[in-house]
Amino acid sequence: MKTLTLANRDLFWPPADELIEVAERIRARLGDWPRARVDWRICLAAPDTARSGDIVVVIGAQADAGDARAWRTAGASLIVADIGGAALTTAGGERYALEGKLPEDWLAALAAFLDCGFEPPDALVLALAWRDGDETTGDDAWPVDLARFPLVAGLPAAPAQPFPLCAPRLGLYPVLPSAQWVERVLALGVATVQLRVKDAPPDRLRAEIGQAVAAGRRHGASVFINDYWREAAEAGAYGVHLGQEDLETADLAAIAQSGMRLGLSTHGYFEMLRALHFRPSYLAFGAVFPTGTKTLATAPQGLARLERYVRLLGEQVPLVAIGGIDLPRLPAVLATGVGSVAVVSAVTGAADPARAVADLQRVFDI
């Protein structure tokens, strides 16, 4: 395999030829990825002038608070690492702390994963999942052994009662804007749906959730409720779906005690590790493609990332792919091995929703 050239780029400061050589060997075994959107520079010593895209690395001790503030003001991020793991603080103040073994080549691996287009929190997860010499084991040395991945530090305890399991492959999973849509789609034979109601007053919200849950019972289907876990529990819903931001506010113990299933959204490796800590019933991964149904906090993930996500977690927890997936794209999505695909406009935006559902279901049955 041709070795990718990193040596002519300002990848490390000060320049570090040995690290560049190792980073090139690692990068050459990670596959073909689009270039990073940012020209990251890993600073092994304090830069004279920090800049946006710098990641200043401090080993074994906290950085001087004044220096750290100055670096962040200039747009740089900071990694503080020691024998027990590493913590990244971005220029915006977001902190991502990981516990795990630091391989000898972790800085070279970090550079390689950044070059693959991963944002620093996810590249740091992958760098800590790396093991020295992995680049010699084959053409694709991507970390896919969950036992080797770090843990997210500082999380609250997971609920004592695990969330109930759901089917390992949920199949077609329409996300629908109203109880009327839930009724309509369940009547077409779909087994799993999600009700995602936006900006409804409390009385209407409870009515919509109650109607959707009742429809699920009549059809013997699984109805998940997006966000509104209290109302979902009151109605006896099969499950609830939450975003990463909801993990800060939702009472996960109460959700577990209610018997509801829990689905969690993830957008990369760090969020995946954070979600796994709480032992959810399934993980949703996206957005796979660009989508107009909601504002994206991260760039579209693409099929290559989804395929590696499936290889890592396919036997651990059910996975749902979401984001910009329609009938033409569905075969390629399923080819990654993912067991469920959530769709929105592919059903609700179709001229003939019944035909759209039938066509989508047919791809799953092939």
Binding residues: 194-198, 226-227, 246, 265, 291-294, 324, 344-345
* Beta-carbon count within 10 A of 53 CB: 18
Cross-strand pairs, 12: 42
Residues tagged in the binding site annotation for Mg(2+) = 227, 246
H-helix segments, 78-192: 106-115, 120-129, 179-186
Helix axes 269-277, 302-313, angle to 10 degrees: 30
Q: Which residues pair with 85 in a beta bridge?
A: 82, 99
- Are 10 and 116 in contact by the 8 Å Cβ rule? The answer is no
Instruction: Specify the length of the chain in residues.
Output: 366
Q: Are 114 and 4 in contact (CB under 8 A)?
A: no
Question: Which residues, including other chains, have CB under 8 Å from residue 256's CB and lie 6 or more apart?
Answer: 159, 160, 161, 162, 163, 262
Q: Which two tokens stand for residue 285?
A: 């991964």
